[in-house]
Amino acid sequence: MSTLITSLAQATENAAKAEAFTISPIGLVIMILAIGGMCSLLGWCVYKVVTVPHPEEHLHTQADITPPDEIEERQ
């Protein structure tokens, strides 16, 4: 594992020497994966939030939540 990382580091260093800070192919891949991944995840979440049907009165006040203690008390 460390040999692989060292080799990759050397390759990256050589590429950096050759072309200053121009984005390398692997840098481009990482950028596209990171940005694409986050956009896809958010897009999927928003799609689910918008499309999944939920009851009209989905959120209520706490006043109509009966704590377990009160349920026991009533019984």
Tell the smallest beta-carbon distance from residue 40 to other proteins (Å).
9
End-to-end CA, the chain = 63
> Which tokens in the block code for residue 37?
């991944």
Tell the smallest beta-carbon distance from residue 13 to other proteins (Å).
8
What is the full DSSP assignment across 35-58? Answer: HHHHHHHHHHHHHHHHHS---SS-
Q: In the complex, which residues of this chain contact other proteins (CB under 8 A)? A: 2, 5-6, 8-9, 12, 15-16, 20-24, 26-28, 30-31, 33-35, 37-39, 41-42, 44-46, 48-49, 52, 54, 58-63, 65, 67-70, 72-73
